[in-house]
Amino acid sequence: MRPNFASKLIALYASCGQVAHARNLFDQIPKTNIRRWFALIGANARSGFYQQAMDVFSEMQRAGSRPNRIVIPSVLKACGHLSDVKTGEKL
């Protein structure tokens, strides 16, 4: 599957409220692209699954990917809803 297509498909599943399908696809593809991480973090944050968004963010960091200006707003949204000031300040 082409990298951009996978990211867009993850985002599409998420926009339809199918976060579990988005995660399933995410788990089946290489995580070398920040767009894939963002698609799943954003999907969870937009769907109100803030802890899951933070879990994916932690997973992203453990994999060696660094947050960028696209990922940070979704992570900050999750931090706000979880009252996670410490993580929010680190960003």
pLDDT, tens digit, 9 for 90 and up, residues 47-81:
899 999 999 999 999 999 888 888 899 999 999 99
What pLDDT sits at residue 57? Answer: 95
The DSSP string of 15-84 is HTT-HHHHHHHHHHS----HHHHHHHHHHHHHTT-HHHHHHHHHHHHHTTPPP-TTTHHHHHHHHHHHT-
Report the greatest alpha carbon distance in the chain: 38
8 CB-near residues (< 8 Å, 6+ apart): 39
Could you list the residue range(s) of the whole structural domain that residue 31 is in?
Answer: 3-90
Q: Count up the domains in the chain and report the number.
A: 1
Model pTM score: 0.83
Element (H, E) at 85: helix 85-90
Residue 62 tokens, joined: 């453990």
The model's confidence at residue 1, banded by pLDDT at 50, 70 and 90, is low
CATH of the domain at 18: 1.25.40.10
